[in-house]
């Protein structure tokens, strides 16, 4: 039952993912969450995230930001990193993910999703049939509704960890 919330892989950080390997495996588009995936919640794009997007473009990826946030927040970040965006994306509903793939010209088999929350980011990506990468949240300071969801995430992640151990799969990749 909890498997519907399991990511395909759980990484320590967005910035530690070997995106070149994913590109070489046939992936061409990446849909990113912003807050606590790329920068702390509400923070502007920093030099690290700006350079990161430059590197991904150089590899050949198309990228889009998918956020449930309002347009001013998402537009500001997207402008700084040079990425298209979808605001008020309605995660975990499939529509935002499907629209993102359409905007990038990718499909389910060539698109990755990277986010920090199970019940919006990962679940939505799985509903859309996209390979999902869960990353540890960057900052513990979050809005109260997210803090409450984190308690439920701990239950799912404990189940995910047990399942990974049982199958001989790495639980958290650094």
Q: Is the pLDDT of residue 142 over 80?
A: no
pLDDT of the residue at 145: 78
Q: Taking residues 91-112, what's their average pLDDT? A: 98
Contact 82, 57 (CB under 8 A): yes
CATH code reported for the domain at 2-167 = 3.40.50.1000
**Predicted confidence (pLDDT) per residue in 27-72, tens digit:** 999 999 999 999 999 999 999 999 999 999 999 999 999 999 999 9
Contact 44, 76 (CB under 8 A): yes
Confidence band for 165, pLDDT divided at 50, 70 and 90: very high
pLDDT of the residue at 158: 95
């Amino acid at each position: 039952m909890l498997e519907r919330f399991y990511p395909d892989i759980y990484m320590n950080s967005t910035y530690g993912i070997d995106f070149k390997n994913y590109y070489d495996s046939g992936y061409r588009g990446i849909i990113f969450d912003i807050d606590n995936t790329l920068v702390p919640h509400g923070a502007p794009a920093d030099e690290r995230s700006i350079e990161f997007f430059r590197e991904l473009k150089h590899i050949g990826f198309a990228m889009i930001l998918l956020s449930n946030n309002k347009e001013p927040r998402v537009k500001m970040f997207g402008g700084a990193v040079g990425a298209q965006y979808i605001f008020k994306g309605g995660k975990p509903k499939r529509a935002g993910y499907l629209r993102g793939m359409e905007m990038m010209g990718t499909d389910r088999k060539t698109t990755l999703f990277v986010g920090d929350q199970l019940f919006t980011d990962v679940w939505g990506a799985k509903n859309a049939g996209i390979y999902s990468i869960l990353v540890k949240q960057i900052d513990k300071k979050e809005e109260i509704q997210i803090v409450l969801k984190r308690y439920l995430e701990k239950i799912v992640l404990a189940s995910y960890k047990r399942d990974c151990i049982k199958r001989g799969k790495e639980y958290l990749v650094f």
